[in-house]
Structure 1
Amino acid sequence: MPQKQDTTGEELKIRVGEEQVTGRAQGQGRPIVLLHSLLADASSFDPLAALLARTHRVVQLDLPGFGGSHPVAGGLEAVADRTADAIRNLKLETKPIVLGNGYGGFVALLTAIRHPQLAERLVLADCGVGFDEPGRQAFRNMSAAATAKGLAAISDVAMRRLFAPAFQAENAELIEQRRARFVAVHPETFHAACAALASLDLREQAAGVKVPALVLVGEQDEATPPRMARELASLLPDARFVLLGGCAHVPQLQAPQQFLDAIAAFIR
């Protein structure tokens, strides 16, 4: 059961068999579950969650291997299954909207493929159905460099994949906060996610996702460029595409009000 922690919400410790998934919940209303990126943990949703909590029951989950969530072996499919089980075990009054960003977007999509009755709607931000070969190689390179030198050695690369250079220059304090969060990720979780994303291809399976979807992407996203989101939207049976001007890979953190305005009608 959720435990009251402070005025910003409740700490969640969700049992999935013998394992645990952690998170935070706040607000009342239509439920929406937030799944974070690989390079940015659940706290990357904090500004957006505060806005959403005015009208929704907002759940920020720590994906397996992040925060207090136990890791899971078996690739992205196992991550999606663990996430689906955790959402079911929340015992929400109605089916939730599932919103994923980056890595969390791929998890949300795969969760919808493997558990088609779980979500009422999907919001998929800065993700796709699979990377091209240069994109796959980028994950292999990051994993290899982190193996050789540690996550701190690739933190500049990680920040560039999250934020455009101009935004970094104007928001130095935020960038250092995000860098510290990235370096704290468990290395095994990072390597497993890189391996999964380097081989993922959901193109054939995307057609089986019947729930309505809103696909968004920052126009400056270098990690999952707009062409990936456009391809995803074209393959889903019921999807709408939105390009977010001036944003990169984590638009909900960079411009939370702009992001909320873009999704407001869809999640109402």
Structure 2
Amino acid sequence: MQRSLVQRIATIAASLALAYAAAPAVAAGSAAASTHPAFKVEVTGKGAPVILIPGLASSGEVWDGTVAHYCGNRQCHVVTLAGFAGVPAIEGPLLPAVEQQLSDYIAANKFDHPIVIGHSLGGFLGMKLAADHPDQVGRLIIVDTLPALAAIQMPSITAPQMKEMAANMRARMESMDPESYRANQLKTLRTMITKQEDIDRATGWGKLSDHTTVINAMTEMMSEDLRGEVSRIKSPTLVLGAWYAYKDYGTKPMFEQMYKSQYQQLPNVKVELADTARHFIMYDDPAWMYDRIDNFLK
């Protein structure tokens, strides 16, 4: 894969975080549900449980179309993470808190192997949950994320190098002038979403997200390498990826190979890439996404 391509992909997640870092901070506080302050939950429908996790600085509303499609005979539990889209932030590392509280939520509600669907950062959390609690998760659906974002540019990257890269990214984000990155936010979101109305919606969620939480969550994810850990996942897994925004840097088969190489230690995984959708596949090509998920769930 060409170096210009991997450099572009490796910086895209950081660019989004930089853009959201320009948003005003939301004060930390206690979430409405004391048993799971790391996220809030909206429950819709009745039947077998489905847990939907949104991405960085996103609201659970990103799954509205998915809920409408699947919650006629299923019960959807749509989370929004603390510090994102107006939900009060919490103290301490977010990702381990969300993972543990999701595990506790599944146990407390006596869910029998719920379907877990995650987008971007939410997909990363779904992977962690399924790897660390393999007997709790049913089918796992990951929408456009990878086990090791920092390894895209350098597959042989070591753990110390990964942490150093994440620390450098944090330093850049923390030094940003908010005014300078308003234009960068729009530029970044336009590589991830096609329609302006959807870009505006995501921009609004970013403005309601806590500055520190966004930086910390992005740094946490960039510091981790789950390529080996996914071998502990027992769940049949579907990975839906997007490549179209980078068509000038490589071909679809090149991207497919990159995705499959990162997931090669995950047993029973199916990887598919959309033809023209960008990162927010649920907005850009919901029909394609639902068709793949429908077939997977059958």
The TM-score with structure 2 as length reference comes to 0.72
1:19-168 to 2 correspondences below 5 Å: 19=37, 21-66=39-84, 67-68=86-87, 70-74=89-93, 76-89=95-108, 91-132=109-150, 140-141=168-169, 144-145=172-173, 147-150=175-178, 153-164=180-191, 168=194
Q: 1:261 aligns with which of 275, 279, 291?
A: 291
Structure number with the higher strand fraction is 1
CA contact (8 A) 1:112 1:209 kept: yes
One-letter amino acid matched to 1:192: N
- How far residue 210 of structure 1 moved from its aligned partner, in angstroms, is 1.5
CA contact (8 A) 1:130 1:200 kept: yes
1:206-225 to 2 correspondences below 5 Å: 206-220=230-244
Residues of 2 paired with 1:103 and 1:81: CA distance? 16
Structure 1 stretch 137-146 or stretch 114-123: which is displaced more? 137-146
Residues of 2 paired with 1:47 and 1:163: CA distance? 20
Counterpart residue number, 1:8: none
CA contact (8 A) 1:146 1:153 kept: no
Counterpart residue number, 1:201: 225
What SS does structure 2 have at the residue aligned with 1:235? coil
Higher relative contact order (CA 8 A, sep 6+): 2
**Number of residues paired by the alignment?**
249
One-letter amino acid matched to 2:40: T
Residues of 2 paired with 1:143 and 1:176: CA distance? 27
One-letter amino acid matched to 2:172: A
- How far residue 111 of structure 1 moved from its aligned partner, in angstroms, is 1.0
What SS does structure 2 have at the residue aligned with 1:34? strand
**Which structure has the larger Rg?**
2
Cα distance change of structure 1 residues 164 and 74 upon mapping to structure 2, 3 Å threshold: closer
Residues of 2 paired with 1:83 and 1:72: CA distance? 17
- How far residue 198 of structure 1 moved from its aligned partner, in angstroms, is 2.1
Counterpart residue number, 1:4: none
Q: Kindly report the root-mean-square deviation, in angstroms, between the aligned alpha carbons of the 2 structures.
A: 2.9
Identity among equivalent positions (%) equals: 21
- How far residue 96 of structure 1 moved from its aligned partner, in angstroms, is 0.7
Residues of 2 paired with 1:122 and 1:160: CA distance? 31
Runs of 4+ aligned residues of structure 1 deviating over 6 Å after TM superposition are none
Residues of 2 paired with 1:239 and 1:14: CA distance? 34
Q: Which runs of 5+ in 1 are unaligned?
A: 1-11
Q: 1:239 aligns with which of 269, 293, 296?
A: 269
- How far residue 80 of structure 1 moved from its aligned partner, in angstroms, is 1.6
The TM-score with structure 1 as length reference comes to 0.80
